[in-house]
Amino acid sequence: RGRTEYLRERGISVGDLARRGFIFPVVRLEIDYRAPALHDDLLSVETAVLEIKKTSFALSQRVLRAGDGKLLVAGKVVLACVDREMKLQRLPEELVQVLKE
């Protein structure tokens, strides 16, 4: 997943956060399919932070064909922060700092 790699590249492990009780379910997803990916196409995913709130954050994501840079998919994903009982909780501070960079 592009968002997992985005965070990993910035030193945040989603697995480590989950073990500490921070879980991030998708609560909203918007996708615009612009063009098809074909067999053997290499794809790249670009991710950017759109919004940070107390208990959620939103990312934009774009999928491009690596060979020619053609935009195939554009989307927005909103993730909430919940605990193991699925109750909303504040985003962990280290995540907020990375998202603000």
pLDDT single digits (tens) 46-94: 999 999 999 999 999 999 999 899 999 999 999 999 999 999 999 999 9
**Beta-sheet strand order (sheet of 43-52):** 26-33, 71-80, 56-65, 43-52
pLDDT of 1 above 90: no
Chain segment 3-52, per-residue pLDDT in tens = 999 999 999 999 999 999 999 999 999 999 999 999 999 999 999 999 99
Collapsing DSSP to helix, strand or coil, 93 comes out as helix
Domains of the chain: 2-100 (3.10.129.10)
Which residues, listed in sequence order, are joined to residue 4 by a DSSP beta bridge?
none
DSSP code, position 90: P
> Where do runs of H (alpha helix) occur along the chain?
2-8, 14-19, 93-100
